Chain A
Amino acid sequence: MTEPDESRSGRIDGIVITPPRGLGTVDLAELWRFRELIGFLALRDVKVRYKQAALGVSWAVLQPLLTMVVFSVLFGFLMGAEGKPTVEGVPYAVSTFCALVPWQLFATALSFSGNSIVQNQNLVTKVYFPRLVLPIAPIIAALVDFGAAFAVLLLMMLAYGIVPGAAIALLPFFVVLALATALAVSLWLSALNALYRDVRYALPFLTQLWFFVTPCVYTTASVLGEAPPWAHWLYAANPMVGVVEGFRWALIGGPAPATGALLASSIAVVVLLVGGAIYFRRMERVFADWV
């Protein structure tokens, strides 16, 4: 659609506007020039999210904490205090909270990013900037909530005397994997959402289903212990399985995620991400007319 002519030191000196043709391409250089806007929009999301909420950012901690308490009590009744699905040698509360923290990061990022184009339609119809900025900013903003919840997780580990091993060095990888998964799905959904509002209603439902097929309130071993290998592979197709089990491995000494499965889901995420970016870039041409 537009070809920036950057003849002078990276600055746009001229543009040619023509009808869009072919596949969308992602102009990373332009996106980089708009990094400050991403920062400002993320900052706006963070500041606005808990304005006029008495508990403020505590919500970021309360949500996973209360979920953990509910399931702890539920599984306590169902399976008895000793039978709860947890990582060996770690209390259920810690094992579950450790999984809920990255899950919450993913779910928050997905919900804000998936609605980003619709939420910002006043911008989309009035100002030019690379539209990719919109789904990216809430992903960054979700990290703030994550930081608060993660601090509580560390305190909880401290209270139970759990010390992470060397695997903690790989924790950032799992954070990035969670964010990449959220962004990959959001690129598809936010673009689709601009055209079909069905997405807005489907999104919370999708997130809920995804939550139950991800081993947050239980562990992979507790459901797949005796299952054949293909079931493990199928299960690992969900990248959030790798993220959640990766967190448990890196922080509280859970079983190491299978490298092959992790690699497969990483590749799946990258494919989904690239495809999503191309789809998004293609659909953004009609955002302003259709949103």
Chain B
Amino acid sequence: MRPPIIRVEELSKRFTLGETRSGNLRESLVGAAAALLGRTRRQHAAPDELWALRDVSFEVAEGEVLGIIGANGAGKSTLLRILSRITTPTGGRAEIRGRVASLLEVGTGFHPELTGRENVRLNGAILGMGRREIAQRFDEIVDFAGIEAFLDTPVKRYSSGMRMRLAFAVAAHLEPEILIIDEVLAVGDVAFQQRCLGKMSEVAHSGRTVLFVSHNMAAVEGLCDRALLLDRGQVAARGDVRSVIAEYLARAAVGPTPDGPIARSADGGLEVTTIELVDRDDLPLGAVQSGRSFSLRLDLACAAPLRRIGIQLAVNDALGARVAVLSSAVAGAESDLQPGTHRVQCLVRELPLVPGAYTLELKVLAGSECLLFERRAAPLLVEGGDFFGTGRLPPEGWGGRCLLHQSWSIESAKSDAESPA
């Protein structure tokens, strides 16, 4: 068997926070002198230390397309920056066998005063293409970006979309053995995004090794076969992309879990102790993917018998606007409760919400009387998912709150087909 193309062993990176600001010049001159002499200053275990990565180990086989996922601050970008040799690790090692091109940002080094033509050459050189390589692919790049007419216009006169298209086009035509990509898909208009995704999967399926970081779970699931989950600088899961995404969703921040009950009625006779998101197998979820089915689970405790109890969970968006209401009364599930604890479960099928942070507003009614109300009872985190079953999601810039199942057909009238315009 061939050795892995990337082997990472116990890679660690420590940041010392605040050092830049607090150091005075004299101190740093002394430090610089010591540094020059090869003596690194010993850092005492200061409280302002942060391990962005801690003992991360993994291997990547040749041709593997590995997704790297994790919450913000989990160390994904630091890992990519170390593997791209932009920054150095504090400990451990990484072996890379092959030419690496990393794309941590689209349009790195673009200069607004230079023309499109000049920027293609400059950007190509920055990304590691030789002069000849750039010349060979120049037409292809311009064609892909669709900006032929503006080649000799300074890039500062381009629309942001055009700039992004040109930048992505250059990057997409790199031909390294290993490609490292960080969140570059969220650029340009929709048509161009589709082409980007298409180009990406072309790269992914051409036998090249790809490391791909994204928050778009649909894109990760569509492009990658395997994934690596980072959590606070450590590898939390590694393996098949679906299982790792599931693990990620289970871990995603649930928010602070209060010790006491979530809500209590005015007379204290009714308490809601927990609200949880669970998947079909009853495993708790930290976040839900668009298009997935899940259940909301509530635990209630009541002191006295209650009649005609209805439970309402309203989904509010980050701005507090009502997006949807789940109601047991509307669903025909009003019921009487005996004293004791009860578990209420509400199944939501194929969640049609766009990704975002929502909150659940809780109301418990007896008939039409409101017993209990809690404006922010629990968070509902929605992550990008494969709602349409096509691996595609509308881009964030599109707006909209909900996703609709749809099927399209286009029929051409006979007369039109016979006389093409």
Q: Which A residues are closer than 8 A to B by beta carbons?
A: 1-2, 11-20, 22-23, 36-37, 39-41, 43-44, 47-48, 51-52, 120, 122-129, 192, 195-196, 198, 278-279, 282-283, 285-286, 288-290
Contact = CB atoms under 8 A, between A and B. Distances in A.
B97 A44 contact: no
A110 B100 CA distance: 33
Interface in B324-371: none
A8 B387 CA distance: 48
A195 to B, nearest CB: 7
Contact of B97 (A13, A120, A126): A13
Contact of B38 (A11, A23, A127, A129): A23
Interface in B72-129: 81-100, 102, 104-105, 108-109, 111, 113-114, 118, 121-122, 125-128
B28 interface: yes
B36 interface: yes
Contacts of B125: 36-37, 39-41
19 contacts: A12-B99, A13-B97, A17-B88, A17-B95, A17-B96, A19-B88, A19-B90, A41-B122, A47-B113, A47-B118, A48-B113, A123-B108, A124-B86, A126-B108, A127-B108, A127-B109, A285-B87, A288-B87, A289-B87
Given A22-B38, A196-B28, A290-B20, A17 B109 contact: no
B25 interface: yes
B307 interface: no
A285 B28 contact: no
Contacts of A12: 99
A126 B113 contact: no
Contacts of B118: 44, 47
A288 B81 contact: yes
Chain B CB within 10 Å — which of A23, A192, A196 has the most?
A: A196
The 4 closest A-B pairs by CB, nearest first: A128-B85, A40-B125, A14-B97, A17-B94
Nearest to B127: A127
B105 A16 contact: no
Contacts of A22: 38
Given A127-B86, A129-B128, 6 more contacts: A17-B94, A41-B125, A44-B118, A47-B118, A48-B114, A125-B86
Chain B CB within 10 Å — which of A52, A126, A192, A198 has the most?
A: A126
- Specify the main secondary structure of chain B where it touches its partner: mixed
B114 A19 contact: no
Contacts of B99: 11-12
Contacts of A198: 25
A128 B113 contact: no
Interface string B239-264: 00000000000000000000000000
Contacts of A283: 32, 35
Contacts of A48: 111, 113-114
Contact of B89 (A18, A39, A40, A286): A18
A14 B95 contact: yes
B157 interface: no
B114 to A, nearest CB: 6
Nearest to B132: A36
Given A44-B111, A126-B104, A17 B85 contact: yes
Contact of B91 (A16, A19, A192): A19
A14 B86 contact: no
Contacts of A47: 113-114, 118
B131 interface: yes
Contact of A123 (B98, B109, B121): B109
A278 B36 contact: yes
B36 A15 contact: no
B86 A126 contact: yes
B35 A13 contact: no
A45 to B, nearest CB: 10
A242 B123 CA distance: 39
B96 A282 contact: no
A51 B113 contact: yes
A1 B88 contact: yes
Contacts of B94: 16-18
A18 B7 CA distance: 12
A128 B88 contact: no
B122 to A, nearest CB: 5
Contacts of A14: 95-98
Contacts of A129: 126, 128
A127 B88 contact: no
A51 B108 CA distance: 20
